[in-house]
Amino acid sequence: MQTTLSDWLALQETSSAPLQRGLEQVAEACRVIAGLVERAPLEGRLGALTTTNIQDEVQKALDLASNDVFLDLCGQEPVFAGFASEELDDVSMGTQGGDFLLAFDPLDGSSNIEVAMCVGSIFSVLPAPDAARGRAIQAEDFLQPGRNQLAAGYALYGPQAMFVLSVGAGVAGFTLDRDRREWILTHPDMTVPEESGEYAINSSNERHWKPGLRQFMAAVQVGREGPLKQDFNMRWTAAMVADVHRILVRGGVFLYPADNRPKVANGKLRLLYECAPMGWLVEQAGGVAYGANGPVLNVRPSSLHQRSPIALGSRRVLEQAWAEYLVSDGAAEG
Ligand code: F6P
């Protein structure tokens, strides 16, 4: 018999009934977005708008439609006290007194949309601070380290739509059965293999890299003759969800470093709704995740849309990379 997401959630001892209801609503939002992504060319929703988000990135029609789906559907679930999104400058109010805060990137990797490649959604559930129970949620309420997360996950809109989730006791993956409108458990215990020979980095930025990363990538390219004593293969999909999904299935490392470009001085990806949830999933699956100066989950954001460098994936190669090469880049940043 197939296990649905609801069946699976009901068995999780680390998630309360309110958290389960909230997560089912997040999964429903992702199911709806999977349909929007699939039908985008038929409904004239491909392409950029003239607006930009707070990061000065051009918004796509689907970015905003996906954001609306998250807010509409998750807003119907009173367990969420407030929302933070890549597409919103400030927080959006949920139900006052709700137990949880939901941070999300409604459509990650949206430059892939026009070319019919993978895109995804990423989300993070944090506890609503007790102090916020009697008042409207504020941006500061979200500024918690990733270790505080109660649940995190992503949806991948690719050849199949997948929903990957952790409530703090491992990672499970579900595949959308469109006919039944259900997420079905297909990847019960996702584990990042300790050893792997795949890496993902946008190497067109090499001229901007810091010295430690340059040395690490030189070692990667020398392969088995060099200090890392193994050959590597490269993959880069330009959608973090797809690259992290590959790592959760068959291992590897993913890096989006800070570099010498002013706009990327603190990395490109956002701490609250990209690096922290993905770092948590990777740690839950037995891998490692580093930010600027150590484990990314230890970092308390100082603003909603703060960026962070990120290096996550298979334990053996990344621990060595961090200790011997990458740590010096972070320290130099202060
Ligand atoms: O969130 C931004 C994002 O699209 C990630 O999904 C992806 O990993 C990265 O940016 C790609 O960046 P670049 O275009 O610099 O390779």
Tens digit of pLDDT for each residue in 146-178? Answer: 999 999 999 999 999 999 999 999 999 999 999
Q: Is the CB of 108 under 6 A from ligand 1?
A: yes
Q: Choose the most confident range, by mean pLDDT, from 36-45, 107-116, 269-278.
A: 269-278
Q: Is the CB of 202 under 6 A from ligand 1?
A: yes
Report the run of H or E that residue 215 belongs to, with start and end.
helix 211-222
In this structure, of 48-57, 96-105, 110-119, 269-278, the range with the lowest mean pLDDT score is: 48-57
Structure confidence by residue, pLDDT tens digits, 47-97: 766 677 777 777 778 999 999 999 999 999 999 999 999 999 999 999 999
Indicate the CATH number for domain 198-329: 3.40.190.80
Task: Confirm whether 5-187 and 198-329 share one CATH topology.
Answer: no
Instruction: List phi, psi (to 5°) of 219.
Output: -65, -40
Domain extents for the chain?
5-187, 198-329
Using CA atoms, how far apart are residues 147 and 219, in angstroms rounded to an integer?
32
Using CA atoms, how far apart are residues 53 and 107, in angstroms rounded to an integer?
13
The type of residue at 22 is G
Report the run of H or E that residue 184 belongs to, with start and end.
strand 182-187
Indicate the CATH number for domain 5-187: 3.30.540.10
Using CA atoms, how far apart are residues 26 and 23, in angstroms rounded to an integer?
5
71 close to 55: Cβ distance less than 8 angstroms = no
pTM flag (> 0.75): yes
Angle at 106 between CA 71 and CA 234, to 5 degrees: 170
Q: Is the CB of 240 under 6 A from ligand 1?
A: yes
Cα distances from 25 to residues 20, 22, 77, 97, 185, in angstroms, run: 9, 5, 7, 18, 17
82 or 133, higher pLDDT: 82
Using CA atoms, how far apart are residues 67 and 249, in angstroms rounded to an integer?
27
Q: Is the CB of 269 under 6 A from ligand 1?
A: yes
Protein residue with least CA distance to atom 15, ligand 1: 202
